[in-house]
Chain A
């Protein structure tokens, strides 16, 4: 028994150490973004976390996937409670540690977990079918290349395996209890595994113990593997959805934040007095965003929170009418570039110019197609704003790279000279009142 305990603790410590190393890297990457103070009502932020992250509110705009996702989500949370017992059993060399404390309630709990496990299996199976057989449009768009698709499938298959292992473990346990095997204390009947155990009761105790222990070990090893897979996967959203909904903007969706750094200069041009309360905001490296460093850390956090669900893209008028723009791709590109920058830092100790930027991932054509309609922001179940990134990149294109479509240049000139985006002279502005 002791050997098993030592093995178990070693496995646990390795998995947790590795995971926390990955998390620290991601945190470092996110903090490569521009500093941005968080303002606004804290209670409103907590409310958003409760409604959107815990409550899955936005998911229910689309109820079939919402219900299925809810199973997986509840399954995840509740199975995690069960994992606590597994871990303690593993460390202490006990079996079903909580049983004496919970007594009659114990089989009720485990039965509930089992029902959820079955629901998770069903949901994951339907998700696999939607993705791979029904080819739901938002899962087959161009940015859903090999890895994003593989990633989604990996997770689903993995969840199914974990749940099957959990059920196998309980079933063999129940069969062993029927045989009054030593060490397998009597727990009462579990809802799903008890009937199944009848089918297995002809097996010898030896085989059942092998099955039970095998499933137990694979289950916990699988969970620890899953933990370490998360940081490489879009499924990191199961952790980051919480901070992301907390830090998401509380502003009206149509509001663009002001670029503080140029206010003094513009005021100066107009001969306006200096604002007293200058918060010492210095000139940024770039006007708008050229690379991930120029985006706010909130945008980078969002890039890691994106679940690649494509709800944003499915609602984007530009995408719906065949333009290249896909707001989901904006988020995926931001994450990909950020990971590339992170690898660069890992390799050199600091970022060494690689001659690239976020604009190597996102083309001008995509950025130009956005109508700023905010549908992507509205749809995102975890409160991401692809629009915010698009607007920052547009600022760079126009204010620094001077890559402006001719028509827009004409519009700018007109606004500057006539006070109107069209070339009408200002003294015609009130002509409409003449025919009243």
Chain B
């Protein structure tokens, strides 16, 4: 399977109906790359004409901005907006809630206006509209899964249902953690924490959060953000549970259930 870049399409005189904004984590982090591949599979399966920016994509600037470096953020944002506008991109899907928030809510201030989907919203629509064919209930069905709300998706943008609706469509049984939906607890990566040591405390945020997830007794911890994914995975490893418990992005779970 080959994923075209927007530039390739343009050379052929074509325009993608959807741009997949991959984001830094899914581009470079080995585990998050699995999410990227899963999403690419899903979009292909659903027959969507999508493309990526490839090497022309750049950090949205979110971590710089949250750390306080507004200057660098604007630099990145204006450059990305130039690229996107030059290709006349209108619709974007991304698997990263941070990219999602920046592209959707913050780029308009600098002249970048797009219809932006988080992949859980987009996938849910594909399922609902019957564009994705799912395998009949497998042995995995009815297995317990818990979903970790990403702050930038849930509280940030009010997206609580789409990820859960997808899991339900797959006939998985969701058990909620002590803190979920608008009370969900952060994984500890946001606000540029991902790129520095946590401040001094009694425990690490991801360890506290993973414990809540493990307390549900689920074998699968579903995430919808590459950073949450990493944080939860580290938490599972810390608890010595990596043999029993898997951390997966919603896109990975869906890709496994494609017919």
Contacts and interface: CB of A to CB of B under 8 A. Distances in A.
Contact of B28 (A372, A410, A412, A428): A428
B105 A321 contact: no
Contacts of A27: none
Interface stretch (B74-82, B122-130, B167-175, B243-251): B74-82
28 contacts: A252-B156, A254-B101, A254-B155, A255-B156, A270-B78, A317-B185, A317-B205, A317-B208, A317-B209, A318-B205, A320-B185, A320-B205, A322-B202, A323-B201, A378-B155, A391-B66, A394-B67, A395-B68, A397-B68, A407-B197, A416-B75, A422-B24, A424-B27, A429-B54, A430-B52, A430-B54, A433-B2, A433-B37
B203 interface: yes
Given A321-B204, A321-B208, 15 more contacts: A254-B152, A254-B157, A258-B106, A266-B74, A270-B78, A287-B70, A320-B205, A321-B205, A323-B198, A368-B199, A375-B186, A396-B68, A415-B61, A420-B58, A421-B24
Nearest to B78: A270
B59 interface: yes
Interface string A388-402: 000100111111000
Nearest to A372: B191
A435 interface: yes
Given A270-B79, A397-B68, A373 B191 contact: yes
Interface residues of A, number: 70
B40 to A, nearest CB: 6
Contacts of A378: 155, 182-183
* Chain B CB within 10 Å, residue with most, of A253, A257, A432: A432
A253 B67 contact: no
Interface class of chain B by DSSP:
helix
B65 A256 contact: yes
B142 interface: no
B156 A374 contact: yes
A321 B106 contact: no
A255 B27 contact: no
A165 interface: no
In this complex, the member of B33, B110, B156, B203 whose beta carbon has the largest number of chain A beta carbons within 10 angstroms is B156
A88 B65 CA distance: 57
A130 B74 CA distance: 48
Interface residues of B, number: 72
A196 B196 CA distance: 66
Interface of B: 1-3, 5, 22, 24, 26-28, 33, 36-37, 40-41, 52, 54-55, 57-59, 61, 63-72, 74-76, 78-79, 82, 101, 105-106, 109-110, 151-152, 155-158, 182-183, 185-186, 188-205, 208-209
Nearest to A422: B28
B40 A419 contact: no
A266 B203 contact: no
Given A257-B109, A375-B151, A408-B196, A391 B37 contact: no
A369 B55 contact: no
A436 B185 CA distance: 34
